[in-house]
Amino acid sequence: MATSGSYGFNPSLGEATIYAFNLCGIRGTALLQEHMESARMAANMMLGRWSSEGVNLWTVDLQSINLNPTLTVTSASGTGSIATLTYPSDNAPIFQTGATITVSGVTPTTYNGTWTVTASGTGSVSFASTATGPMTIAGTIVGSAPAATYSIPSNTIVMLDSYIVQNSGGASINRLILPISRSEYASYPNPFQTGFTTTYWFDRLLSPQVTLWPVPTSNLSAFNYYRVRQIQDSNFSNGQTVEIPYYFLESFAYGLAQRLALIWAPEKVAMLKPLADEAYQIAASQNIETAQQYISPTISSYWRA
């Protein structure tokens, strides 16, 4: 028996949409622009839901935060009393008010020097300065010590395993650290205590941030974390495919069909919903890591009064 010998089946969003409409009883020749617009919206809404339903393994990646970075200035503006510099925001420090930074290489040169931070945000820092006007030549920003809080890419859904990298005798040593809640972080009497970082608080804002505690010392070089990022947007242009693995294709088709039926074929919803739910459960059962798991009791010394 002859087989194809290929493994390239990966339909575009357009092809998957036509098939989904077929499942709703709507033939391809009947499709109009408004059908396709509702399909694009439904597809991205469904992918957003998938991002919140579990850890999609194909969207897990490793991110690294340099705890002692040299930041490139991307713009500078000054009023004559306050200067504000911007720098790339992802995985970058958010300087604490009162921290010391050194700016160099910027033209006009009045932006350069060692300054005390008066205000800070995601990708920007301000300080008292007589500098005025825009930047003509870029420079760098260096903090006097590692910061407590760092920005996280906005497409991050959740942080997973995280660890601190320590420089020791020329070698890099990884040490796992654990998450804490906002309430627990708020209970710390000295949030800016320095030392070997053991915990982190992931603040899930629209521009998310992570705060380390204790604040890392200079011998800690990086904070690495695995994260789940959102699934890439789906569009019809240039035959784009959907960012899902092979074993989720059927789930995508049935799920899209169910959502489109709500708009274009309500009488088909009752038939398509159980098919969509079953297809998702089958795909999700494969979306796991195959590794041994160990469960053991905590056994420690105890004393009886």
pLDDT tens digits for 99-142? 999 999 999 999 999 999 999 999 999 999 999 999 999 999 99
Q: Are residues 174 and 224 in the same domain?
A: yes
Position 1 in a domain:
no
Neighbouring residues of 23: CB distance < 8 A, sequence distance ≥ 6? 253, 254, 257, 261, 268, 272
pLDDT averaged over every residue in the chain: 94
Position 290 in a domain:
no
Position 242 in a domain:
yes
Q: Are residues 125 and 186 in the same domain?
A: no
If pLDDT is split at 50, 70 and 90, which confidence band does 302 have?
low
Pairwise pLDDT comparison (172 vs 270), residue with the higher score: 270
Neighbouring residues of 210: CB distance < 8 A, sequence distance ≥ 6? 65, 149, 150, 152, 159, 200, 201, 202, 203, 223, 225
- What pLDDT is recorded for position 301? 56
Pairwise pLDDT comparison (305 vs 249), residue with the higher score: 249
Domain boundary among 110, 143, 176: 143
Q: Note whether 72 and 87 are within 8 A (CB).
A: yes
Per DSSP, the three-state class of 49 is helix
Closest CA to 208 of 139, 279, 151, 249: 151
Kindly calculate the radius of gyration of the chain based on its CA atoms and give it in whole angstroms.
26
Position 293 in a domain:
no
249-264 vs 13-23: helix crossing angle, rounded to 10: 60
Whether pLDDT at 292 is above 90: no
d(CA 143, CA 251): 49
Whether pLDDT at 303 is above 70: no
d(CA 40, CA 23): 17
- What pLDDT is recorded for position 291? 82
Whether pLDDT at 300 is above 80: no
Closest CA to 218 of 66, 67, 64: 67
Q: Are residues 264 and 194 in the same domain?
A: no
pLDDT tens digits for 19-60? 999 999 999 999 999 999 999 999 999 999 999 988 999 999
Position 2 in a domain:
no
269-286 vs 249-264: helix crossing angle, rounded to 10: 160
- What pLDDT is recorded for position 299? 63
Position 270 in a domain:
yes
Domain boundary among 101, 125, 143: 143
Spatial strand order of the sheet with 209-213 comes to 60-66, 220-229, 156-168, 171-179, 199-203, 209-213, 149-151, 93-94
- What percent of the chain is predicted at pLDDT more than 70? 97
Position 3 in a domain:
no
Q: Are residues 223 and 153 in the same domain?
A: yes
Does this model's pTM top 0.75? My answer is yes
Q: Are residues 164 and 133 in the same domain?
A: no
Whether pLDDT at 305 is above 60: no
Task: At 28, give phi and psi (nearest 5°).
Answer: -60, -35
Q: Note whether 117 and 96 are within 8 A (CB).
A: yes
- What pLDDT is recorded for position 304? 54
CA 69 to mean position of chain CA atoms: 20
In 80-170, which ranges are continuous DSSP H helix? Answer: none
If pLDDT is split at 50, 70 and 90, which confidence band does 298 have?
low
Q: What is the span of the domain harbouring residue 169?
A: 60-66+149-229
Position 297 in a domain:
no
The domain tally of the chain equals 3
